Amino acid sequence: MVRLNICIIALLCFVAGLTELVISGILPYVAQEFSVSIATAGQSVTIFAFIFAVSGPFIIAFTTQFNRKKLFISFILIFIIGNVLTLISNTFFLFMLSRIILAIGVSMIIALSLSLSVKLVPIYRQSRVISILTMSISTSLVLGIPMGIMISEYFGWKAIFIFVTVACLIILVLIMKYFPGDISIETVTFMEQSKALLNKSISFAHLTTFFFFTGQSMFYIYFTPFIQDELGFSAGTSSMLYLVYGICAVFGGAVSGALVERVGATKTLIIVILIYIAMMLSISVTSHWWVLLLINTGMWGMLSWSINTPQQTYLIYLSPKYASFNQTFSTSTVQFGIATGSFLGAVLLESMQSYYMLIILGSAIVAVGFISLLISIKSLH
């Protein structure tokens, strides 16, 4: 039964994650549907990330006294409502409202999935479970864009949300039937939970996440124009590179989970971040040779989401009592990092007109994240 519940939660995380970045790949369809510019349609991605980042920690902190299963079901229903509203949207205002509702639903679904799944297994299995869930989430994020483009091309962009709605209804029934209703967490007030951020080790651990995804997003968000405009490759080549990136990212999530069990979360974080910086910087060299770029993209993709499992495990180790709050805050920090990196990348690209500077400066910001990690680890002693 435990394996079944983990599989159900992993599928839910995948489906929920699809609704976030899938919009990035179908902006032209959305813009055409509501007669707005692509830039305006792109605001739906920004508002999703912002609401996701802000809502999760506050809601999880103020709902500690509620039954976890009922709370889980409630936010799955909210997520379904958001998808239905997307389907019936006939104005851009309604569409943006649906994105806000979806962001709230997704933030809580992922937060509850991470915090509840580890309660189903022994401590020595927690990193493996976190690895499975983060792999599901990262899979949906990296494969959502090409999937969205393909589905929109043949069936229309709203078909994506029909699939998500139907899948969620099935998952909802399974959770209502099989998920245990007696899971409990430590009941602490919002003020108590927020005090966890005053702990030096915890605060610098979150800064590690923020700087890592800020540096990553500075270049990754603009990877397509880099491939096509800077390097002169075709759209087909871009799709192939994204596919390699996505497949390797999924594989990387599994590898990092196994590495955590073997050498521990802190050593895994150190290894992943250092190699990631090297792989990101090397793109500025390998981009001149197609085969080397393909290999480099695969390595870069494999490491891009490998930080999640060791980071979540590290946060549980730092503060088991505030694990739920810290895991939720961590996912919010990822969103803030993505939003910040995207913004900084746009500003720097506009002023410097150089994708290679995005690689260098993005890598430098990831290096700042590595320094934050070292400070966090040192603060433990």
> What CATH number does residue 20 fall under?
1.20.1250.20
Give the position of tokens 């299995």. Answer: 125
**Do 328 and 284 share a domain, yes or no?**
yes
Q: Does the pLDDT at position 275 exceed 90?
A: yes
List, for residues 206-218, the tens digit of each pLDDT value: 999 999 999 998 8
| Contact between 96 and 85 (Cβ < 8 Å) | no
| Contact between 130 and 309 (Cβ < 8 Å) | yes
The band of 59, judged by pLDDT with boundaries at 50, 70 and 90, is confident
| Contact between 17 and 110 (Cβ < 8 Å) | yes
Q: What pLDDT does residue 34 have?
A: 93
**Do 327 and 293 share a domain, yes or no?**
yes
Residue after which a domain boundary falls, among 165, 185, 205: 185
Angle between helices 308-318 and 126-155 (to 10 degrees): 140
| Contact between 79 and 105 (Cβ < 8 Å) | yes
Residue after which a domain boundary falls, among 185, 208, 229: 185
Integer angstrom CA distances of residue 178 from 8, 116, 132: 9, 14, 19
Alpha-carbon span 328 to 58, nearest angstrom? 9
* Residue of higher predicted confidence among 366 and 25: 366
Q: What pLDDT does residue 29 have?
A: 82
Q: String of b and e for 259-286 (b: at least 16 CB within 10 Å)? A: bbbeebbbebbbbbbeebbebbbbbbeb
* Residue of higher predicted confidence among 237 and 180: 180
Chain centroid to CA 137: how far?
Answer: 6
List, for residues 340-361, the tens digit of each pLDDT value: 887 788 788 878 778 899 999 9
List, for residues 75-112, the tens digit of each pLDDT value: 999 999 999 999 999 999 999 999 999 999 999 998 88
Q: How many residues in total does the chain contain?
A: 381
User: What phi-psi label fits residue 35: left (phi over 0), alpha (psi between -120 and 50 degrees) or beta?
Assistant: left
% of the chain with per-residue pLDDT over 70: 95
List, for residues 283-315, the tens digit of each pLDDT value: 999 998 989 999 999 999 999 888 988 998 898
Q: Does the pLDDT at position 193 exceed 80?
A: no
Q: Does the pLDDT at position 250 exceed 90?
A: no
Give the position of tokens 């490998």. Answer: 306
**Do 139 and 191 share a domain, yes or no?**
no
**Do 174 and 77 share a domain, yes or no?**
yes
Count CB atoms within 10 A of the CB of residue 381: 5
Chain centroid to CA 49: how far?
Answer: 10
**Do 192 and 180 share a domain, yes or no?**
no
Query: Domain span at residue 364?
Result: 186-381
Q: Does the pLDDT at position 186 exceed 70?
A: no
Count CB atoms within 10 A of the CB of residue 165: 18
Task: Please enumerate in sequence order all residues whose Cβ is within 8 A of that of 215, keeping only pairs 6 or more positions apart, or say none.
Answer: 280, 341, 361, 362, 363, 364, 365, 366, 367, 368, 369
Q: Does the pLDDT at position 196 exceed 80?
A: no
**Do 146 and 269 share a domain, yes or no?**
no
**Do 342 and 361 share a domain, yes or no?**
yes
* Residue of higher predicted confidence among 237 and 177: 177
**Do 69 and 144 share a domain, yes or no?**
yes
The band of 276, judged by pLDDT with boundaries at 50, 70 and 90, is very high
Q: What pLDDT does residue 235 have?
A: 64
Residues 194-202, mean pLDDT to the nearest whole number:
79
Q: E strand or H helix at 167, and its extent?
A: helix 159-178
**Do 126 and 204 share a domain, yes or no?**
no
Q: Does the pLDDT at position 150 exceed 80?
A: no
Question: What is the DSSP track for 330-367?
Answer: HHHHHHHHHHHHHHHHHHHHHHH--HHHHHHHHHHHHH
Q: Does the pLDDT at position 137 exceed 70?
A: yes
